[in-house]
Structure 1
Amino acid sequence: MKRLMLFTLLLLGTTCFLSAQVEKKVQAKIDQVIVYPIGAQLEYIADFQAQAGPMTLVIPNLIPYIDQENIRVVSDHNFSIVNVQVSTDYLKENPKSDEIKQLRKQIEELTNKIEDEELMIKLNRDKIDFLNQNKQLSGKNDPISPENFKQMNQIYGSNLEALTLDIQKRDRTVKKYREELEKLHNQMATLTRTPSAPSGVLTLTIQAKANKSSKLSFSVYTSFASWYPSYDIKFVGFDKPLEITYYANIKQQTEVDWDQVSILLSTAQPQLSAQIPTLYPYFLSFIGYGSGGGAVSSMNRAAAVKGEKVTPTFDFIQEFTSDGDDEIAIIEEPVTSRFSQMEIVKEYKVAARQTIPSSPKPMLISYGETKVDASFEYQAVPKLSDKVYLIAKIHDWKKAELASGVAKLFMENSYVGESRLNTGQYQDTLQLSFGVDHNVIVKRERVENYSEKTIIGSNRRENASYKITVRNNKSYPINIVVYDQIPISKVGEISVDGVDVNGGKLNKESGKVEWNLNLNSNEMKVVTLKYTLKYPKDKQINHY
């Protein structure tokens, strides 16, 4: 009997609790988005009227496929959060339904206008047929006086002209309407072709303290968004710094448009799970080397030892053979973003709120401007090209917070091309080419009276001489670096002797020759390059 009474009391209490719990649908909007190189954190806000006691808040129309581990809910002081549940709504109405209805209305209105115009064209053509028929009947039975003929001709001519011009005008109008109608049909096909994506639903059980207006905020993480930087770099003068404009290329495919949101760009690699990572023992060992040089990364060591060929997703693969028979691949770690994991995390606030639609096409947004000091010089490789290039050297480029990406280059207001920045090169100086300057001339010529071939015994001796002429046609002095080369022999029977670089700097290992020249306005300088080749007379070499 006591058990029956206890069960009845528990049942009544549960029923009262459930009947007292209020369920309310709350609409949340995205207020801020933190965009990472891969992924984004969406911060929602919502206002609702709290009622004292237990409540259930249902928040629909969120991004789909929310991971419950990556959601964070913040309450104000009026309520506490009891439970958080995430679900997916596959039956939601197409978010483009209002746009589809508007398009259908426009299509109907435009179709009616076309029908009205075509009806008037038909009526005008019937009138012209009527005039032509009356013109042919007039005068067949009774003679027409000259005065009547003149009057009938004026009536016919004026009516025919007005009707013909009206038909022409309406034909043009119908053509214009049909072009607009085709665009509307194409837009309608685009909207109805794409199936409606599901939406996320957040269900919160809360305990409110009082009946009052309350605020709720929560953040969710999505991997369907990314950003990478690009730049406009403008040269405005040799005595002035480079002007840099920073752009973020933001792409988001969350199936929800970001409407007038605050954007924060981050270079971090987010790990938003609440689960703390496990720290495993860190064992030191020697890095294995093969006869070809290089190291095998730890993540592929097992495959390398077994002789399996590793195919990673990056640009550089070098293979070599170890002391044994195993084939080993040298692996660089795959790059997951344009930001190095060794860099300090940076954040950039976009000044104005932005609207970024869900689309596979990136959206370009400016997030800053700066000026950076640079030195300028001209460079030329006359053996390969008769063009002279203006090169900017940014010595302290890290202060400009540049990351690897594409830079559009401008000479004052003229676009000269693109250059890919590689900030992972670990050099103190970053070089940018601003294209060809046609006011600096370089010319490389073979000196024929020195360049000759002779046979001495079993060997052939070939003298080579080149003259390089540089002229500055600009109105101010310049510095130019000219590059050429001496051939290098890797065969014992071929020797390179009598090298004369005329004051240039020779790298004996690579054969590269460098002349650093200062030229005043309208000044010309000449440098020469000489060397002698010796090789067996019965053989030919690839000298050019």
Structure 2
Amino acid sequence: MVVKSKATEVSVYRNSVSVTRVGSVSLPAGRSTIFIQGMSKTAKSDSFSVKFPTEIHAVNIQVVSYEETGEDLESEKIAKELSELNYNVETYSMLIELRKKNGDFSSRKDISVEDQEKYLESLPEKLFSLHETINKLTAEKEKIGEKLKEAEAEEEKPLIMVELECEKEGEYPFILQYQESSGSWEPKYEVRFTGEGNPLDVYMKAKIVQCSGEDWKQVKVTLYTGNPSASQSIPSLPSVKLSIYEPPVERVRGKGVMMDMAAGSAMAGAQMMQAAAPMMGMGMMNMEMMKTAEATVSEEETMTAFELPDLRDLLSDTDGNIASLQSFKVDAKYNSLCIPCVKDTSFLTATITSADWPLPAATAAIYLKEVFAGNVYVNPDSEEETFILSLGQDERLNVIRKELPCKTQDVFLKNQKKKSHEYAIKITNKSSESIKVLLKDTIPVSTDKTIVVDASELSGGVINEENGVIDWEITVADHASEEIKLAYTITWPKDKQISRSTDYVSVSGSGKKCPSCGASVSGKFCPVCGAPAK
């Protein structure tokens, strides 16, 4: 006996779905065998479980194909019905051709003119009736054809064979659960900037995808931020052995000695800040963004759960089913970020406290006063106190960084060489309002005690001694300019050469990668594979 089931609840993880289906079956007293439909071809066949009331005892449970059930194939019945329809369409088509042929009296002398006229007068109505019948049959053929495809697809799916014993005859419910490998979801954000005196409006949404081949209609949906199979195996404990290390001949090397190498240090952060729409407003009279019901958020043992309100349809093989999860406001410190050693454009940015953004890393659509400014990747690092979010290119500022002539001299008493570098940075505010500017630049960092880098002029900037990044926080008045001077010297043994290398510094304050799968990580564990972040 083949029994159907209906999907009623799905738990969607980052790369799989747990599907719950229900059904009922009429069982006689004693032992019987049923075949439960519902699992897809992409389901994990070793992940299913079947539940019956306690008075039902399962003797044998296994996955089988439709052919093993011994049941008549539904597709064969439908194919026979479709064949009959094709025959009828062909028959009516032949009748049309026959009536047209009979209406040709050019070679016939045995029919009177009166009979010919009667035949020809009735012919259009009869042909119309035949065409109408063919159209109805063709429409029915299309419906039966779709039904045949569905039946063939259903017969290709695995079935759960359950051999069970029942004490008394009756109608009994059952629950089928399994893991679907073709489903997943990913977070997406919508960030709206309404003005420098206001917090950011953040809307978290989910894009849910499933390719099981079945549309899950009116199901309860819960989204989880992790995966059920992540980090189940206990890691091996390393055994550390020590030995004497014979170092190679030392070579003197520096780290990012010249400013052209320092430019690369800031490149990683600047690349995240793609050029967006100009800062401009759009009048939206008596209009506001449409809001939908949000999910109920709960903290589970190892992940966060978002239970979506109401039942909903999750269609198969679409570009994605969008659901609203939650919204909140986040305080931010707004600046125009300038990194002229990398790029001469400025970016409107929001500096946000990481603890105020309790969401996983994801792509965000940025809106500046109802104007779409572009997409950025948001990856708050919980181990960093703050992170920087780009809100788009700021065209109110003009930034020019000019390198002044270098000077190289020999320090004879110390047998050293000394090279001086100097830069002039000019920031011009073209708008009618003052602008808070966060200016970043960098100087080389020495990794060898014989190489000395000395910052001789910082113009009030604050330097990070570890990576050489310098920050200036300044306010540029309307239609005014500010000039910053940066100068430093490098001293090294004159009989040595400097080796240069570049480390990339994330301007946004985030950038951890999972050591197992390489995915971007926000927090202590990878949202994709569950491995601990390092």
TM-score range, shorter chain: 0.5 to 0.7
SS at structure 2 position matched to 1:265? strand
Equivalent residue number for residue 39 of structure 2: 62
In structure 2, relative to structure 1, the CA distance for the partners of 1:502 and 1:212 (3 Å cut) is same
Q: What's the CA shift for 1:534? A: 6.6
**Deviation for aligned residue 1:498:** 6.9
Aligned-pair distance for 1:30?
0.8
Query: 1:348 corresponds to which residue?
Result: 306
Deviation of 1:382 (Å):
1.3
Structure 1 residue 386: Cα displacement: 1.5
Corresponding residue for residue 8 of structure 1: none
Q: Provide the residue aligned with 2:394 in structure 1.
A: 437
Give me the whole-angstrom Cα distance separating, in 2, the residues matched to 1:394 and 1:414. 22
The answer to whether the aligner puts 1:228 opposite 2:189 as a matched pair is: no
Shift of 1:217: 1.8
What corresponds to 1:157 in structure 2? none
- In the aligned structure 2, how far is the partner of 1:424 from the partner of 1:466? 33
Distance between the aligned counterparts of 2:245 and 2:198, measured in 1? 51
Change (3 A) 1:70 1:383: closer
Change over 3 Å in CA distance of 1:212–1:456 after alignment to 2: closer
Number of the residue aligned with 1:405: 362
Q: Which residue, 221, 246, 249 being the options, matches 2:204?
A: 246
Q: Counterparts in 2 of 1:249-268, with a 5 A limit? A: 249-268=207-226
**Quick check: 1:414 aligned with 2:374?**
no
- 1:521 CA displacement: 4.2
Report which stretch shifted further, 516-525 or 486-495. 486-495
Provide the residue aligned with 2:297 in structure 1.
none
**Post-superposition shift, 1:265?**
1.1
Distance verdict in 2 for CA 1:81–1:257, change over 3 Å: farther
Q: Does 1:35 align with 2:12?
A: yes
Is 1:426 paired with 2:403?
A: no
CA-CA distance at 1:40 after TM superposition: 1.8
Query: What residue in structure 2 maps to residue 329 of structure 1?
Result: none
| 2:64 is the alignment partner of 1:88 | yes
| Contact 1:94–1:196, Cα closer than 8 Å, also in 2 | no
State whether structure 2 residue 336 is matched by structure 1 residue 378.
yes
Name the amino acid aligned to 2:205: Y
1:389 is matched with which residue? Answer: 347
1:217–1:496 distance in 2 versus 1, CA, 3 Å:
closer
Contact persistence 1:407–1:419 (CA under 8 A): yes
* Higher mean C-alpha deviation, range 197-206 or range 37-46: 197-206
Change (3 A) 1:524 1:367: same
How far residue 43 of structure 1 moved from its aligned partner, in angstroms, is: 0.5
Contact 1:372 1:400 in 2 (8 A): no
SS of residue paired to 2:158: strand
What's the offset of the Cα at 1:264? Answer: 1.4
Q: How does 1:189-228 map to 2 (within 5 A)?
A: 198-208=156-166, 213-228=171-186
Would you say the 8 A contact 2:427–2:481 is kept in 1? Answer: yes
Match of 1:47 in 2: 24
Deviation at 1:28, TM superposition (A): 0.8
Q: Deviations over 1:57-107 (max 9, x none)?
A: 332353247667533333347x42333523332556679x89xx8xx99xx
Q: Decide whether aligned partners of structure 1 residues 89 and 65 sit closer, same or farther in structure 2, where only a CA change above 3 A counts.
A: farther
Distance (Å, rounded) in 1 between the aligned partners of 2:303 and 2:449: 54
Deviation at residue 195 of structure 1 after TM alignment: 8.2
Q: Distance in 2 between matches of 1:441 and 1:290?
A: 57
- AA partner of residue 368 (structure 1): L
TM-aligned CA deviation for residue 41 of structure 1? 1.4
- Equivalenced residues, count: 378
Q: Residues 500 and 530 of structure 1 are in contact (CA less than 8 Å); yes or no, is this contact kept in structure 2?
A: yes
CA offset at residue 370 of structure 1?
A: 1.1
For residues 162-181 of structure 1, the C-alpha deviation after alignment (integer angstroms, 9 at most, x for no partner) is xxxxxxxxxxxxxxxxxxxx
The yes-or-no answer on 1:74 pairing with 2:51 is yes
- Structure 1 pair 417–203 and aligned structure 2 pair: CA distance change class (3 A): same
How far off its partner does 1:212 sit? 5.1
Letter in 1 for 2:12: V
Instruction: State the alpha-carbon separation in 1 of the partners of residues 241 and 167 from structure 2.
Output: 63
> Cα gap change, 1:493/1:403 in structure 2, threshold over 3 Å: closer, same or farther?
closer
Q: Is the 8 A contact 1:459 1:534 kept in 2?
A: yes
User: Once the 2 structures are TM-superposed, how far is the Cα of residue 468 of structure 1 from its aligned partner?
Assistant: 1.7
Name the amino acid aligned to 1:248.
A
Query: Quick one: structure 1 residues 502 and 93, their matched pair in 2 at CA, closer, same or farther if it must change by over 3 Å?
Result: farther
Contact 2:330 / 2:357 at 8 angstroms: preserved in 1?
Answer: no
d(CA) in 1 for partners of 2:172 and 2:66? Answer: 29
The structural deviation recorded for 1:35 is 1.6
What are structure 1's unaligned runs of at least 5 residues? 1-23, 113-183, 294-341
Distance 1:406 1:506 in 2: 31
Report the TM-score when normalising by structure 1. 0.56
Q: Give the deviation of 1:372 after TM superposition.
A: 3.4
C-alpha separation in 1, matches of 2:421 and 2:193: 40
- 2:492 and 2:234 map into 1 onto residues whose CA distance is 64
Higher relative contact order (CA 8 A, sep 6+): 2
Counterpart mapping for 1:514-529 below 5 A: 514-529=471-486
Change (3 A) 1:213 1:514: same
Question: Contact 2:42 / 2:181 at 8 angstroms: preserved in 1?
Answer: no
Distance 1:514 1:343, change over 3 A: farther
Q: Distance in 2 between matches of 1:287 and 1:238?
A: 57
State the shift of 1:402 in Å. 1.4
User: CA 1:456 to 1:202, structure 2 compared with 1: closer, same or farther past 3 Å?
Assistant: closer
User: Partners of 2:456 and 2:416 in 1: how far apart?
Assistant: 19
Superposed CA offset, 1:185-236 (max 9, x none)? xx99xx89x9887212123344556665443222122333333322222222
Q: Distance in 1 between matches of 2:348 and 2:8?
A: 46
CA distance in 2, matches of 1:245, 1:291: 54
1-side partners of 2:176 and 2:459: how far apart?
A: 72
Query: Which residue of structure 2 lines up, in the alignment, with residue 363 of structure 1?
Result: 320
In our comparison, the structure showing a higher alpha carbon Rg is: 1
Is the 8 Å Cα contact of residues 93 and 196 (structure 1) preserved in structure 2?
no
Residue of structure 2 in register with 1:317 after alignment: none
Would the alpha carbon gap of residues 93 and 436 (structure 1) be closer, same or farther in structure 2, given more than 3 Å must change?
farther
- Structure 1 residues 413-458: Cα deviation after superposition (integer angstroms, max 9, x where no partner): 233233223356632323221121111332223457xx66778989
* Distance apart, 1:380 and its partner CA: 0.8
Q: 2:206–2:325: 8 Å Cα contact kept in structure 1?
A: no
Please list the CA deviations of residues 251-300 of structure 1 after superposition, one character each: whole Å capped at 9, or x if unmatched. Answer: 3333433233222112343259xxxx9989x867448799799xxxxxxx
- The verdict on how the C-alpha distance between 1:489 and 1:56 changes in structure 2, with shifts beyond 3 A counting, is closer
